[in-house]
């Protein structure tokens, strides 16, 4: 009987120690998240000040923090639109990505990919081609946009265009 009590006692102690360890790990994760949130808020405020001081590219940094750190897509859209209006490269591409992935709003996605393409962002042309090919299943438009991205030196677009011709259009 003493052995059974001793075994239960040891099991209880081990279980309690494990629970304490799990609680410590959870507390560490919460503290780490709070530290990250505080750092992101500090950076957010700094980039807003930089934007107000005339650094147009800071609009994209603010939007990225909203989108990536806080998953606040409404504020990210507001800030990316500021960047698009100021013709900051990459703002339209990132905004289009939010419309595509978060809202499945392909009309706005196409609109903002095209805006970034017009200011020389080859990645926007590539992403638009990818949207046409894989999401919208519009091969003719995919070809047009892969060609545009390829002509801007986007190597993945060149590869995808060649692959498309070789494997998808080989029988046409």
Q: What is the pLDDT along the chain (172 residues), one digit of tens a residue?
A: 566 655 656 555 556 556 566 666 666 666 688 888 899 999 999 999 999 999 999 999 999 999 999 999 999 999 999 999 999 999 999 999 999 999 999 999 999 999 999 999 999 999 999 999 999 999 999 999 999 999 999 999 999 999 998 988 765 5
Phi, psi of 72 (to 5 degrees): -100, 85
pLDDT of res. 72: 98
The DSSP 8-state label assigned to residue 138 in this structure reads -
For the chain, the straight-line distance linking the first and the last C-alpha, in angstroms and rounded, comes to: 83
For every residue of 9-76, DSSP letters joined together read HHHHHHHHHHHHHHHHHHHHHHHHHHHHHHHHHHHHHHHHHHHHTT-TTHHHHHHHIIIIIS--HHHH
- Name the 3-class secondary structure at 126: helix
Say which residue the tokens 């505080």 belong to: 38
pLDDT of res. 124: 98
pLDDT of res. 151: 97
pLDDT of res. 16: 58
For every residue of 63-123, DSSP letters joined together read HHIIIIIS--HHHHHHHHHHHHHTT-TTHHHHHHHHHHHHH--HHHHHHHHHHHHHTT-HH
| H or E stretch covering 6 | helix 2-52
The encoded tokens of residue 24 equal 């410590």
């Amino acid at each position: 009987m003493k052995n059974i009590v001793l075994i239960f006692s040891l099991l209880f102690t081990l279980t309690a120690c494990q629970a304490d360890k799990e609680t410590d790990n959870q507390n560490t994760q919460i503290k780490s998240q709070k530290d990250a949130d505080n750092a992101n808020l500090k950076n957010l405020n700094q980039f807003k000040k930089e934007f107000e001081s005339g650094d147009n590219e800071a609009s994209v940094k603010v939007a990225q923090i909203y989108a990536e750190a806080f998953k606040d897509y409404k504020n990210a859209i507001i800030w990316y639109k500021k960047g698009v209006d100021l013709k900051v490269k990459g703002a339209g591409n990132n905004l289009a990505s939010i419309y595509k992935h978060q809202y499945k709003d392909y009309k706005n996605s196409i609109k903002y990919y095209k805006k970034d393409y017009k200011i020389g962002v080859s990645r926007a042309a590539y992403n638009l081609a990818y949207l046409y090919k894989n999401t919208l299943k519009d091969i003719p438009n995919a070809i047009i946009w892969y060609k545009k991205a390829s002509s801007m030196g986007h190597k993945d677009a060149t590869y995808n265009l060649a692959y498309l011709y070789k494997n998808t259009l080989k029988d046409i």
